[in-house]
Amino acid sequence: MMGTETSFRCPVCRAKFRSRRECSRCGADLSIIMTIVAEAQICRKNAIRAIHSHDFQKAHVLATKSQNLHQTEAGRRLLLLTSWLESG
């Protein structure tokens, strides 16, 4: 359902981030990016779980947090959905 697409790039050489601790091109340490991406993914998963339990306010908070950590297209759609649900 959620892709692994990411907008992150290596801060050193601008190579596309490939969900690895080290840049595939220059070997820079990307573990901080890994942590942020993983946290955002957990927030998105918890937001979806909250939607399923009809806790729309919690879902919206989690979706917002997830987008603040790491913006993705899937996250943007989830945030839109939760803001509709919360206001409805």
Kindly list the residues in this chain that would bind Zn ion in the complex (CB under 5 A). Answer: 10, 12-13, 15, 23, 25-26, 28
**Rounded to whole angstroms, what are the CA distances from 41 to 13, 26, 44?**
25, 26, 5
- Distance separating alpha carbons of residues 80 and 64, to the nearest angstrom: 10
**Nearest approach, Cβ of residue 22 and Zn ion (Å):** 9
**Nearest approach, Cβ of residue 1 and Zn ion (Å):** 30
**Nearest approach, Cβ of residue 8 and Zn ion (Å):** 11
Q: Cα 20 to chain center, whole Å?
A: 16
| Choice between 23 and 78, CB closer to Zn ion | 23
